[in-house]
Structure 1
């Protein structure tokens, strides 16, 4: 009899637990009396990309994006651009040719330079660009004008065109 009592009480406990758990379950969406609302989402406005512009009264740092943009266009037109192409592109974009410097496109023994540098003096700072296979492509920075009053170290070529 003890075995039967334990079995009956064990089955009863399982049935009671089942009924309690059934009462805790959520109804199916199909049997729900109120329709489910889709989650609301708010999308942040997407800012339109803006093309940088020359800021004549801006700082060198503020004009670096435009400097980079112009040089990227020069490289897009000709991935093998030389110093003259960079200078011409910057002049066409509004930079002052008289404030520019550019290194030679060839080494002293006539081989193509691994990289060329070019710059635009901007008040007490310089926008400096460098391009070539030897440096992994195009790079730029803003630096202070050197004690010599120039932007680039080493031999530069005259911009006489």
Structure 2
């Protein structure tokens, strides 16, 4: 498992396919603030709640200068179904080999119902305009996370 990122660290760059199969790169967003959040699986209750919360607050975040990228190991096809089913407006990216998840320390050993398993660690990062980590939140809860993030960012 990769070390956890902390504020000031360079954000690991990535280029991943979105729900339409179009490559999306973090480097293309230099000069903008980017919220990158990692979630375990599309169309599960917690991940749906989190994605809907980001969508519901997307205009407010965009108005404050933030782009939002959601990353999971799901295929672009599954992400497209998720986007359509839940009317999501957040950009969803596919990381099937988990390389980006691992680079951000968002994949590794975690507890699930009292058992240690390997999996996606629900995490959110705020990347500043220069490509550095401004905030790193690990093991976040799906419910209430976006509201807390808005408060933390004074949005």
**Normalized against structure 1, the TM-score is what?**
0.28
Q: Which structure is higher in helix share?
A: 1
Say which structure, 1 or 2, has more relative contact order (CA 8 Å, 6+ apart): 2
Structure whose CA Rg is larger: 1
**Normalized against structure 2, the TM-score is what?**
0.28
